[in-house]
Structures are given as structure tokens and as C-alpha cells.
Structure 1
Amino acid sequence: MESGVWTKHVAGGNLHTSRSGSFGVCVDGVLYLFGGHHARGNTNRIYRLPLRAPSLVWEEMSDLKGLPPSPKDKLGCWVQKNRLIFFGGYGYAAQGPHRGTFEYDESSSLVWDSPGRGWNNHIHILDLETSTWSQPITSGNTPSPRAAHACATVGNRGYVFGGRYKSYRLNDLYYIDLDTWEWHEMSVPQQCPVGRSWHSFTPVSSDHIFLFGGFTTERETLSDAWLYCVSKNEWKPFKHGHTQSPRLWHTACSGPDGEVFVFGGCANNLLSHHRAAHSNELLVFNVQPKSLVGFCMEAILQHSERLSSYWDCLPKPILLSLKQKMARVNTLGS
């Protein structure tokens, strides 16, 4: 992030099948990858990749106890107290007793040799300490089944916004108390985002979540951004410089200085007959004010010729960061 330079790492292990619509989440230096869709259909396998190990090797978590989720893709996840909490998705009907609703997609049976798929609102918990799957007993106003929604964890609340259910792309907002498992539907303010799927919903503080992009019921690819205030149940449009960069099915994460990084996705209607405009562009949104250190480093870089003779007086970590940023500036300018 300091240098702005990508490096490629090749991982070994038994993750042999390419897939889409999986959910990946990092906990304590380990990347977990669940589900997705591949050439033979949906899967409910889960893998782990220790990122701090000397070499990167995928490991299938095949010795888990309890009843796992059904094979699915386009699901959401919350992380709390060393637990991965998966919600919703699109895939096959559950085999065995599952709490929640499955809504069959009639159009999915048109695919030859397919058992048919649909949307669900199931919650499954994977306890990383005990390696056990479980399902909580929930109460309250439960969201409808959905897929391609977005989830965000703020404190002990798991928020879910939007997603697709049948032919509709939703703009409803719910949260579930991750201690009591009670669902709450938030009232829809007069000013709020349009319904969408394949968007991102990223916590940026203890009171704000950043929404970007997505895909509407009218099949429009979006480039709008919003900030949701948790304490006020209030949406505000967020002005930014990427309005000409619509995205759907992208990924997003927060940075150390209040930024939101958006990577990849598709820039046009993925369901049209035109070739999908997949992107490898990194978009940066400065959601929070820059730190004083950040402003000072920018000033040093802007006046580098005048100040370069004083660089060696700086603390080594700041000096290293400055040199990395300068190398990036020189690379972009060459």
C-alpha cells in the first residue's frame, strides 16, 4: 500500500477448481474461502490460507463438525468473536434440517442436468476455535431470502443491505444482534440508495458504513457512493472522483488511514450479450480526513527538491515510507 506496487504470490495446496461468487474473509492472518460456483455447479467446501506462513499453501477444512451450509454462491458474511457467520446466498436446496427459508428459482431448472437452485436466508456459524458448524435460533423480522447482497459488521451488529430476490434488487437494510440473534429491520429514510445487488458495504468507523456501486433491477451498473450513519439511521450521498467508473461484483476493504479500496469487478451489464468489461483497476475513496502525518508527507513529496537534504533526519519508518511513495511517483511519471 505504501509503494503502490503489486506482487504476485503463487499458492500451492489443493484448491484445484476455479470458481466465482465465493466469499473470502481474513481473520488473524488467515484467509478463509467458502463456497462459490464452478464448472460443475455450486460448492460448500471451505479452505484456509495462512498468509503469514513462509510459503502459501491452501488447506481444505474437511474435518469440521456439525451441519454445513448448502452449496451456494453470492452469500454474505459477518466476523465476530472468532466466528464466521454466513448469511443468504444462491444455490441448491439444503439437505437436512436447516433453519430459514429457501425460495426455488424456476428459471434455474431450464439448465440441462441441473437440480435447480434458489435464494435462501439461512444463517450458518463456523466457530474457528472448535471447528464446528451451527445454526442459531433467530427472532424478530427476518429478511427475505437473497443473494449478491452485502454485509458489514459494526460492534455486535451484523448489517445486510440489498441483494437480489427473484426479479427484484432490494434497498432494504437489516441488522441482526450477534449476541441475541434478534433481527431488526431499519425504516427506510426519504433519502436512500436505489435497490441493488453486487455492491460493497464497508465499515469505515464505529458509526459509519460506506456503500459503493452495484447493479439495479433495470440492469444499470452504478457508480454512486453513500455513507450510512448507524446511530442516526441516515444515508448521505458521498461525493467522489470515480463517477465515470461504475462497478458491480467488485471487492472492497478499508485502509489504515480511513480510505476504502475498491478492486476489480465489472464495469458494464454483466447479463447482456456484450462482452463483460472486467476491471483490474484500484479505486481509492478518502472517506475520513487524512491524518496529520499524511498531510505532512504529502507536503514533503510536493517540495522534495527543497527538502530532500533533510530526509535523513527523519525517523527510519517515516523515511522508508517516503522513499516508497517517491518511488511510486517516479514510476507513474516515467
Structure 2
Amino acid sequence: MASAKVSHPVKSASEESKVLVVENGKMVDVQDKEITMEGLCSISSYDQWARIPVSGPLPKPRYKHAAAVVQEKMYVFGGNHNGRYLGDMQVLDFKSLSWSKLEAKIQSEEPSDMTGTASLPPCAGHALVPWGNKILCLAGHTREPIESLSVKEFDPQTCTWSTLRTYGRSPSSRGGQSVTLVGGTLVVFGGEGDGRSLLNDLHVLDLETMTWDEFETTGTPPSPRSEHAAACYADRYLLIFGGGSHSTCFSDLHLLDMQTMEWSRPEHQGITPEPRAGHAGVTVGENWFITGGGNNKKGVPETLVLNMSTFVWSVVTGFEGRAPPTSEGSSLVLHKVNGEDFLVSFGGYSGRYSNEIYALKSSRKSGVPSGQLNEPETNGLASVAENSSRGVIFEIEELQDEKTIKRADTSKTLLQAVKGEKSHIEEKLNQEELQSSRLKQELANVETKNVELTKELDLVRNQLSAEEARASQLENEISDLQQRLQKMETLEKESESLRLEKDAEADDSSSGSNQRPADKGFWRWNG
């Protein structure tokens, strides 16, 4: 997919500086026309992207960063530039449209103990989620591998990072996942873990108790993927769109009912979205806007919108050129000014890294989404119930009618049949619950056995290490003995040579004296 790029073509200086914006549906080179826009409110046309001029020191161009809006300011953290992870915190003030860099501090476990000015370890592919007047940071790829996912909190008032204590089993570390606020919980789905392993697991963090849960779901979940987009509808439904594996990009749409924990594939209408990964999304009422992304061949220029109550896809606008709305790994946030909804896009990669700001004023107003999908069906059921009540009243008034009595008897028979079927279904449901309970117990037993086997394996590994150490010591002793043996052999040879010399001297002396030939002398005897 597009996020797998490792080399980027070099562009000429003239091509790098050329930027196109949309005005009245036409592309305009900003170098040929002086920009006079002042703030987001100066955007007059709806559903068109416009480049926003800003002041202050510009952040380093980047992609795969994260952004969040808190109190009229957009906070941008981390990202990737030329393969290097970034760890800076940049702030765009929407009132003055000026950039500034924050020198954040890291709070230690002791409240009174503060480190010097610093930031979190550089990372990319993470998520920022506004929570009250603070910002939560989750997941992301870092230079140093991390076992489990931690939750960091940034306080804009004190400009301080802190690590929140969580309970339960934390998800494994990952990047390119989606983190979605659903009611008072954060839902983490998928991503790319250690060793480039793709994931499709689901984890839920209760923000009130700060407890992690991994729920069992039914239905068919999305295939393992990263760099997808996720959204929440009616504080109940989680939607997953697109993303990619190591070899392909997706354009599928998945729905998870957070009350029943059941996955489904809703049938959508309208246009058919192109496969993409690395895109960004934001919701305005019941409308889900999707921008950017790539599909191994090219970037996706169209900005799409999905009506989450009807599942109808449509194109909001197209955009040519190398701007954040068409980029991979750009950030997208929603900001409201004077009752108008503005989509604000920053950064991204589309042949070059960007640090520009683009905005789109949406013609689709924020509405209060209903608590259920397919509202017309619910209204239809209510209408049927009302008509049924009227029918009952009519039957009571015409109780003397023989046909009505027969109809009532038929209704009783049908009611009894429905009750019998209900009892049968409840019995089957109880059996399924028992079976599920047994399976859970078996799973717990298997996990316990796995823990025991792991302990035994660790013990065997420790014993093996001890044996290897002993074997190494024995090898050293054997080597020492061999050296000593060689020295002894050398000494024996020298001793034998000396004996031979002494024997020769003894023979010479015996031949010149009156000693008996059989007498071999002192050296010969001791030899």
C-alpha cells in the first residue's frame, strides 16, 4: 500500500514551490495571485478546499502524525519525515492562525518531581484524542520496541505529559491502528504490531475506570489491516473503512454494534469508493468525511462523504495538485466557527512532505444522530402496533359478532404458538449460553496450562543454560589438561634423550676399565 514507500522522487525547486488552490471550482496558482484570505471565516464557498495562510515558525513537513483540537487550538504531535520519527508538539491558534512550538515537560511518578524540558519519544502512526481539556495519546511506532500499549496524557494548561495508570490487560504495541471515542470508551482496532504483523483485534478502554477489556465479537470482523479509518455513529456503532495489508489496499466498509458486539457488512449505495490506505476521516453529524490516502499506484484526489444513517457514498469535491487533502498520512480535524463546520487538513505525503494548512467549509450541518440505524423501520413497527391497538378496540366493541369471536380465537391460537416458539428459542439460547460458558472455561484451562508450560519451558531453558555453562567450563579444563599433557610428553622426550646420552657415556667408561660388562652402573640402574 502507499504507506510502504521507502524512496521518494526528488522534485525541482520550481515544482516544489508551486501550490494550487480551489476558488469557485477552478484551480489557481497562488504564485500568480496574492492570497488575501484572513482566517477560516473568509472562506465563502462551501465544499471546496482552500489553502489557509498562516504565520509563525512553520512545523517541519511530515506525515503519519496526529492532531487534536482543544479550546480554539490545534495540537500536532510527532510524525515521520524522510524516515525519521518526530517528537515535537506544534500548536496552531485558530484565532490568530499562527504556529508555535511547545517545550513540553514529562511528569514523573512523583508529582513534585519534574524533569527538564523534554517530549515523548519520537513516534508516528499514533492517535491523539481530545478528552475534556486534555489530550490522550495512544500507540504509534517508535525506534525502541515497546511490549504493550500505554496511554499518555497532555495537559495544555501546564504543557506537561504524564503516563496514565490503566488496569486489565493492555493491548500489544502497534502503529497505524484506529482509536475511536465511543461514548465514555476508547475503541482500539487493528494496526501493525512488532515484526510488521497485521492485526484485527479489538480492545476497549473505559475512560471512567481506566480498565482495558477485550470483548468477544460475533459475525465476520474486518481482515487484519493498518492505516484504515474509523468513526462512531450515535454513540453505539463503530465503522471501519479501507486500510491495507502488505500487498493490497481495501475499500470495504464494516459495522460493529457496540451493544451486541456483532460485526456486519452494511450494503452501501451511491458511488463505489476506490481502495485506499493512509486516509483521514472526521464526522459532522451523521456525515463521515474521508480525505486522501493512496492505493500503491496513486493518491486519491476525491473527498468523499458517507451518510452513516443511510450508507450512501457521495463525492464532496475533487482536488488536483499536492495538497494535504490528497495526501497520505495527513491529519484531519473539525473546527466550528460562528456555527459553521470547517474541516482542517495538515501535512501528509504526496511525492513530497507537506506542512501546509487547507480548510473546507461543509454545507452538511451537524445534526443529532438517532440512537438506532434504519429509523424508518422503527417507525413502521410503531404504526403497526397502533393499528393493532385500534383493531383490538374494534373487536371489543363488536364482541357479539361471531366472525370477530372466531378471529379472536385464531389470535389466541397464534399467540400460544408464538409463546411456544419463544420458549423454544429461549431454551436454545440457554443451551448456547451454557455451551459458551463451557468454552470459556476450557479456554481458561488452556490459558492456565499454557502459563504452566511456559514456566516449565523457562525452567528447562535455565537448566540448559546452566548445562551449557558447565560444558564450557569442562571444555576449558580439557584444553588445559591437553596443554599440560603436551608439556609432559616434551619433558619425557628430553628425559629419554638424556638417558641415552648417559648410557653412551657409561658404555665408554666401562670399556676402558676392569668393571664387568654386566655391570651397568648408577645411571643405568636408576634408569
TM over 0.5: yes
Give the equivalent residue in structure 2 for 1:328: none
**2:289, 2:305 within 8 Å by CA — same for their partners in 1?**
yes
SS at match of 1:13: coil
Percent identity over paired residues: 27
The Cα of 1:130 is off from its aligned counterpart by: 3.1
The Cα of 1:5 is off from its aligned counterpart by: 2.0
CA distance in 1, matches of 2:75, 2:209: 25
Give the equivalent residue in structure 2 for 1:297: none
1:18 aligns with 2:61: yes
**2:150, 2:170 within 8 Å by CA — same for their partners in 1?**
no
CA distance in 2, matches of 1:125, 1:63: 12
SS at match of 2:149: strand
**1:172, 1:188 within 8 Å by CA — same for their partners in 2?**
no
Give the equivalent residue in structure 1 for 2:229: 200
Give the equivalent residue in structure 2 for 1:4: 47
Letter in 1 for 2:99: W
The Cα of 1:92 is off from its aligned counterpart by: 2.0
CA distance in 2, matches of 1:149, 1:61: 26
Give the equivalent residue in structure 2 for 1:59: 100
Structure 1 runs (4+) greater than 4 angstroms displaced: none
Give the equivalent residue in structure 2 for 1:85: 136
SS at match of 2:47: coil
**1:224, 1:243 within 8 Å by CA — same for their partners in 2?**
no
Q: Which residue of 254, 271, 282 corresponds with 2:303?
A: 282
CA distance in 2, matches of 1:39, 1:129: 32
1:174 aligns with 2:174: no
The Cα of 1:15 is off from its aligned counterpart by: 2.7
SS at match of 2:192: strand
SS at match of 2:140: strand
Q: Which residue of 230, 255, 262 corresponds with 2:290?
A: 262
Letter in 1 for 2:257: C
Give runs of aligned pairs for residues 202-217 of structure 1, distance below 5 A.
202-217=231-246
TM-score, normalised to structure 2's length? Answer: 0.46
Letter in 2 for 1:60: K
Letter in 2 for 1:59: S
Give runs of aligned pairs for residues 1-334 of structure 1, distance below 5 A.
3-39=46-82, 41-51=84-94, 53=95, 55-66=96-107, 68-93=119-144, 102=146, 121-165=149-193, 166-217=195-246, 219-240=247-268, 241-256=270-285, 258-266=286-294, 268-269=295-296, 276-289=297-310
CA distance in 2, matches of 1:28, 1:247: 32
Letter in 2 for 1:36: G
1:261–1:127 Cα change, 3 Å: same
Letter in 2 for 1:66: Q
1:23–1:247 Cα change, 3 Å: same
1:242–1:34 Cα change, 3 Å: farther
The Cα of 1:56 is off from its aligned counterpart by: 1.2
After superposition, the CA RMSD in angstroms is 2.4
**2:103, 2:159 within 8 Å by CA — same for their partners in 1?**
no
The Cα of 1:285 is off from its aligned counterpart by: 0.6
The Cα of 1:80 is off from its aligned counterpart by: 1.4
The Cα of 1:122 is off from its aligned counterpart by: 2.5
The Cα of 1:78 is off from its aligned counterpart by: 2.6
Which structure shows the higher helix fraction?
2
1:201–1:288 Cα change, 3 Å: same
TM-score, normalised to structure 1's length? Answer: 0.72
SS at match of 2:50: coil
CA distance in 1, matches of 2:78, 2:151: 14
CA distance in 2, matches of 1:284, 1:167: 31
Give the equivalent residue in structure 2 for 1:312: none
Which structure shows the higher strand fraction?
1
SS at match of 2:250: strand
1:197–1:249 Cα change, 3 Å: same
CA distance in 2, matches of 1:29, 1:286: 27
The Cα of 1:198 is off from its aligned counterpart by: 0.2
CA distance in 2, matches of 1:144, 1:254: 28
Letter in 1 for 2:186: G
The Cα of 1:228 is off from its aligned counterpart by: 1.7
- Number of aligned residue pairs: 259
**2:255, 2:263 within 8 Å by CA — same for their partners in 1?**
yes
Structure 1: which 5+ residue stretches go unaligned? Answer: 94-100, 104-119, 270-275, 291-316, 318-323, 326-334
The Cα of 1:6 is off from its aligned counterpart by: 2.0
**2:106, 2:160 within 8 Å by CA — same for their partners in 1?**
yes
